[in-house]
Amino acid sequence: MTETISRVNRSKEDARASYNKLSRWYDVVAGGTEKKYRDWGLEKLSAKPGEKILEIGFGTGHCLVSLARAVGPDGRVTGVDISDGMLAIARERLQTEGLGERVDLRLGDAANLDFVEAGSLDGVFMSFTLELFDNPEIPRVLQECRRILRSGGRLAVVSMTKTNPPGIPVRIYEWFHHVMPNYADCRPIFARQSMEDSGFKIEDASVSSMWGLPVQIVLGKKP
Ligand SMILES: C[S@@+](CC[C@H](N)C(=O)[O-])C[C@H]1O[C@@H](n2cnc3c(N)ncnc32)[C@H](O)[C@@H]1O
């Protein structure tokens, strides 16, 4: 039997409110656990001096700092996040690191990226964010990523995933996601398959375990 993806049963307003509340605590609650996987994703994206990169769902801004350093003074990083609480923390972090001038931060729903010109970016990065979009929105977000990347541009996605059949930790996690969607809000998805379906050529894909939950790190290229 084909494994299905759980639906997202909260509104964007609830997501924003939840991340606003969580923003001051996010690094304490999730930062340490997720860092290793985010860093692998950044390694796969491998942003270079002079490049233009977008991060979707930048959270407290750790990856924005790495990306801004990687693209250097001639590059540009843009970030979009739905939470103003997260944006305030990310902005503070970038200023402390002296990188504020290199990064544009936008508040908004990344299901709509019409503020980015078609074919204008070298790379897009997403960690633990694609799995927050409801099933019909995942292809829409990926199509938007494809639209804004130049030919040969890269998309790196770090996301929870699951095997078929799913292991016990995933079954327990999905139950939590169903009953407490604001606490276990990321849910396992099939990022690699969705990226392929959206026309990305998969360059690299690996799966690693986070407390028994599989995490997929995928690099795709726009042909
Ligand atoms: C689980 S956190 C991950 C943060 C960061 N990428 C990391 O790995 O630490 C998800 C982030 O996505 C943002 N987010 C959720 N829904 C979004 C949407 N529709 N558009 C843009 N950002 C969104 C949240 O505000 C939050 O900052």
pLDDT at 1 over 60: no
Which atom from ligand 1 is nearest to the alpha carbon of 86?
Answer: 27
CA of 1 to the centre of ligand 1 (A): 31
CA of 30 to the centre of ligand 1 (A): 12
Which atom from ligand 1 is nearest to the alpha carbon of 158?
Answer: 8
Whether residue 1 is contained in a domain is answered as: no
Whether residue 3 is contained in a domain is answered as: no
Whether residue 150 is contained in a domain is answered as: yes
The predicted-structure confidence for 147-160, as pLDDT tens digits, reads as follows: 999 999 999 999 99
The whole-chain average pLDDT of the chain stands at: 94
CA of 177 to the centre of ligand 1 (A): 16
Instruction: Enumerate residues 6+ apart whose C-beta is below 8 A from 44.
Output: 156, 204, 217, 218, 219
- Map 127-177 to HEC letters: ECCHHHCCCCHHHHHHHHHHHHEEEEEEEEEEEECCCCCCCHHHHHHHHHH
| Integer Cα distance of 81 and 104 in angstroms | 11
Which atom from ligand 1 is nearest to the alpha carbon of 80?
Answer: 21
CATH code of the domain in which 169 resides: 3.40.50.150
| Integer Cα distance of 5 and 111 in angstroms | 18
- Compute the Cα dihedral for 38, 40, 45, 49 and give only its sign: positive
Domains: count for the chain: 1
Question: Closest by alpha carbon to 163, among 128, 189, 137, 126?
Answer: 189
Candidates 55, 78, 129: which one to mutate for ligand 1, based on the most atoms within 8 Å of Cβ?
A: 129
Residue 1 or 121, more confident: 121
The predicted-structure confidence for 77-112, as pLDDT tens digits, reads as follows: 999 999 999 999 999 999 999 999 999 999 999 999
The average pLDDT across 183-208 equals 94
Both tokens of 51, joined, read 């490049």
The average pLDDT across 11-15 equals 94
- Quick check: 20 and 44 in contact, CB under 8 A? no
The average pLDDT across 57-78 equals 98
Q: Which amino acid is at 208?
A: S
Burial environment of residue 79 by CB neighbours within 10 A (0 to 12, 13 to 18, 19 or more): buried
Going by the DSSP 8-state scheme, the letter that residue 23 receives in this structure is T
pLDDT at 121 over 90: yes
The average pLDDT across 124-141 equals 97
Whether residue 115 is contained in a domain is answered as: yes
pLDDT at 202 over 70: yes
CA of 66 to the centre of ligand 1 (A): 17
Whether residue 5 is contained in a domain is answered as: no
Which atom from ligand 1 is nearest to the alpha carbon of 38?
Answer: 8
Pocket of ligand 1 (CB under 6 A): 12, 15, 19, 34, 38, 56-59, 80-83, 86, 109-111, 127-129, 132, 186
CA of 59 to the centre of ligand 1 (A): 5
pLDDT at 3 over 80: no
In the structure, what pLDDT confidence band is assigned to residue 174 with cuts at 50, 70 and 90?
confident
Whether residue 174 is contained in a domain is answered as: yes
The pTM of this model reads: 0.95
Whether residue 205 is contained in a domain is answered as: yes
User: Rounded to whole angstroms, what are the CA distances from 27 to 33, 61, 90, 129?
Assistant: 9, 10, 11, 15
| Integer Cα distance of 63 and 185 in angstroms | 20
CA of 126 to the centre of ligand 1 (A): 8
Whether residue 114 is contained in a domain is answered as: yes
Q: In what order do the strands lie in the sheet with 213-221?
A: 103-107, 76-81, 52-56, 121-127, 149-160, 213-221, 201-210
The average pLDDT across 176-200 equals 90
Domain that holds residue 42: 12-221
The predicted-structure confidence for 15-64, as pLDDT tens digits, reads as follows: 999 999 999 999 988 877 899 999 999 999 999 999 999 999 999 999 99
Q: What is the pLDDT of residue 2?
A: 65
